[in-house]
Amino acid sequence: MAKTDTSRSRKATKAAATRSDKDTWAAAYKLIDAPKGAINIAYEAVDRHVQHGHGDDTAIIWLGKDGSRQDLTYGDLAQATARFSNVLLAHGLEPGDAVFSLMGRVPDLYFAALGTLKAGLVFTPLFSAFGPEPIRTRMEIGSARVLITTAQLYKRKIAAWRSELPSLKLVLIVGDTAPEGCVALGPAMANASPEFVTAKTEPDSPALVHFTSGTTGKPKGVVHVHNAVLYHAFSGREALDLTPGTIYWCTADPGWVTGTSYGIIAPLVNRVCMIVDEAEFDLDRWYRTVEQEKVEVWYSAPTAIRMMMRSDAKAASAYDFSSLRFLASVGEPLNPEAVLWSEQVFGQPFHDNWWQTETGGIMIANRPGMTVKPGSMGKAMPGIEAAIVERDGDGLRALADGKVGELALRPGWPSMMRAYLHEQARYDRCFEDGWYLSGDLAMRDTDGYFWFVGRADDLIKTSGHLVGPFEVESALIEHQAVAEAGVIGLPDETAGEIVKAYVTLNPGYTPSEELERDIRGHARKTLGPAVAPREVIFRNTLPKTRSGKIMRRLLKARELGLPEGDISTLETDET
């Protein structure tokens, strides 16, 4: 990665000590060992546990697609990450250089992530499902110096253009052999020392870059620093109930920020036992994993939960879920129906929370012990000041409870992004009048719970009414036939916009005019005729990102023949 000057970024955070809850961060520091003036994510996640006598504790239970299993202790992780750090330095890599990964959820991915951070380099994970162009674009933006991948992925997606990326100096191939011009990681790791002195990175030293899709144009490279580990530790404990020894399963891939922040860093910093499943979603496999591994805390996405909902409760009745003590969800708002379903099947609700790639950690959550209001994101985390704001003249003003506006946060929390790579002006536009502007519309109720309405550019204005697509989607999936729904607004001469819905169906239901009328009738009865969709279109799938977000903007762009923008994170497409 090109060295990032965070001096201008610090202007947005220099008031952190006064704007954030000092007592909260003082308490958070007790969860880590950072010496004054230096902090390193990998040290906090691995090495300190070994130094404190917990080297034999299980850190990762890895479940292979083929049924294999590998248990890794914190001592194993310390040695493997040290070997990876030594491999990097043996090839002349320097602090601040960018290391990209492109592979599935295999142990080498976790060694690479932590070994890169341990060496003081910057880590960027990519989805293994990306095509050649999205990979190349991100590696160009991030000035990739190193890529770690598999031989198959290299030949299919990298080899054809590798020579055209001058920044790329080293390609590490998982396994014992490598294509010409690459280095086999297996022998390199075996020959490297299992000892390494962790780099003394500063709190503001860049550590991670995650790419998030832009509505149009190139993806954005979001920069996070080593000091983010303070918030990872704190929020993992406060929002997910991660305590030493907890058996924890985050189903997110590290190619998505959740899979790194809460699939690697937060759990390991809190010394839990992580489940890592190489395989993709399979209902029986997931239920069997929860039962056999006695999972206690389960963090997943609404898309996965809705996929589970598509099978009736009988599919779950054969399994023992008594080990579960806390369930959480993130990725997009969790529909009320999913919360109620979870209570019926697992005996407890999924606890929704809200955050963004830019925030680096959970900002609003239904925390352990809180009363869950189905459909709500929860309350602001300790140390986080959140408000609903709107533009008032040349500035912003906070709105009263019950009013819809943009969700904003006071800057200063430790995991806040410090830059968009090479896009300072875009970064600066995220901050105004002492607030970070999320771009999400929401409402806060009188109990302090926040309710998601939609992205600012998703809001539908129809016949004088402001309609949040999430509200309509939640009503639609209450219908027994509907599995998922995506709602958009389309231009209309009379109403301004009309509401149009796209739905997928549960097993046993077939698209028909009669079913379409019944679903619209249900929506009219639930929402009223002004808000209910005028038309319901059946689809086999809806376009979603790999993190599970339904891409409403893509539905709308295709309807109107507009540019689709960056769709490199697309997981499924409408058919």
**Mean of the per-residue pLDDT values of the chain:** 89
Residue 16, CA distances (Å) to 20, 415, 435 in order: 6, 12, 12
Q: Residue 229 and residue 45: Cα distance in Å, rounded?
A: 9
Identify whether 415 is part of a domain: yes
Each residue's pLDDT tens digit, 344-371 = 999 999 999 999 999 999 999 999 999 9
User: 543 exposed, middle or buried (CB, 10 Å; 0-12, 13-18, 19+)?
Assistant: buried
Q: Residue 463's pLDDT is what?
A: 65
pLDDT of residue 571: 56
Residues 20 and 119 in one domain: yes
* Cβ-defined contacts of 362-365 (< 8 Å, 24+): 362/235, 362/239, 362/240, 362/262, 362/330, 363/409, 363/413, 364/450, 365/235, 365/238, 365/239, 365/328
Number of domains in the chain: 2
Residue 378 sits in the same domain as residue 425: yes
CA atoms of 261 and 259, how far apart (whole Å): 6
Q: Is 460 exposed, middle or buried (0-12, 13-18, 19+ CB in 10 A)?
A: buried
Q: Give yes or no: residues 96 and 33 share one domain.
A: yes
Cα–Cα nearest to 301, from 341, 343, 250, 342:
250
Nearest to 102 by CA among 150, 65, 63, 145: 150
Q: How far apart are CA 363 and CA 383, in angstroms?
A: 9
**Residue 65 located in a structural domain:** yes
Angle in degrees, CA 58, 61, 67, rounded to 5: 150
Which candidate, 351, 413, 411, places its Cα nearest to that of 382? Answer: 413
Confidence of residue 528 (pLDDT cuts 50, 70, 90): confident
pLDDT band for position 566 (cuts 50, 70, 90): low
Is residue 13 very low, low, confident or very high in pLDDT (cuts 50, 70, 90)?
Answer: very low
Tell me the average pLDDT across 530-542.
89
Give the residue from 291, 344, 294 showing the smallest Cα distance to 320.
291
Q: Mind listing the pLDDT tens digit for each residue in 87-120?
A: 999 999 999 999 999 999 999 999 999 999 999 9
Q: Are residues 360 and 478 in the same domain?
A: no
Same domain, 435 and 475: no
Q: What pTM value is reported for the model?
A: 0.83
* pLDDT bucket at 390, cuts 50 / 70 / 90: very high
78, 221: one domain: yes
User: Taking the mean position of all CA atoms in its chain, how far away is CA 508?
Assistant: 32
Residues 228 and 88 in one domain: yes
For residues 478-501, average pLDDT: 86
Q: What is the reported pLDDT for 18?
A: 37
Query: 381 and 497: one domain?
Result: no
Q: How many CB atoms lie within 10 A of CB 530?
A: 13
- Which of 444, 466, 482 corresponds to the end of one domain? 444
The dihedral formed by the CA atoms of 477, 483, 486 and 490, expressed in degrees to the nearest 10? -70
Q: Which two tokens stand for residue 414?
A: 């430790």
The percentage of residues in the chain with a pLDDT greater than 70, rounded to a whole number, is: 91
Specify whether 309 is located in the same domain as 248: yes
Taking phi first (over 0 means left), then psi (-120 to 50 degrees means alpha), and beta for anything else, what does residue 295 get? beta
Task: Tell whether 340 and 486 lie within a shared domain.
Answer: no
Q: Is residue 7 part of a domain?
A: no
Tell me whether strands 350-354 and 535-538 are parallel, antiparallel or unpaired: unpaired
- Look up the CATH number of the domain holding residue 91: 3.40.50.12780
Residue 39: which domain range? 16-444
- Whether 199 and 154 map to the same domain: the answer is yes
- Cα–Cα distance between 370 and 387 in angstroms, integer? 20
Based on the domain organization, do 285 and 174 belong to the same domain? Answer: yes
Measured in degrees and rounded to the nearest 5, phi and psi for residue 401 equal: -55, 140
* Concatenated DSSP letters of 214-230: -SSSSPEEEEEETTHHH
Query: Is 493 among the domain residues?
Result: yes
pLDDT of 562 over the 70 cut: no
Task: Indicate whether 8 belongs to any domain.
Answer: no
pLDDT band at 195 (very low <50, low <70, confident <90, very high): very high
- Report in angstroms the alpha-carbon separations of 254 from 104, 125, 541: 9, 6, 24
**Is 147 inside any structural domain?**
yes
Which domain CATH number covers 528?
Answer: 3.30.300.30
Going by pLDDT thresholds of 50, 70 and 90, the confidence category of residue 9 is very low
Q: Which of 390, 409, 444 is the last residue of a domain?
A: 444
Q: Is 99 helix (H, G, I), strand (E, B) or coil?
A: strand
Domain endpoint, select from 393, 414, 444: 444
Q: Is residue 3 part of a domain?
A: no
Residue 356: CB atoms within 10 Å: 18
pLDDT tens digit sequence for 26-79: 888 899 998 777 999 999 999 999 999 999 999 999 999 999 999 999 999 999
Q: Got the DSSP string for 124-150?
A: EEE-TT--HHHHHHHHHHTTEEEEEE-
Question: Across-strand partners of 536?
Answer: 501
Looking at the domain assignment, is residue 358 inside a domain?
yes
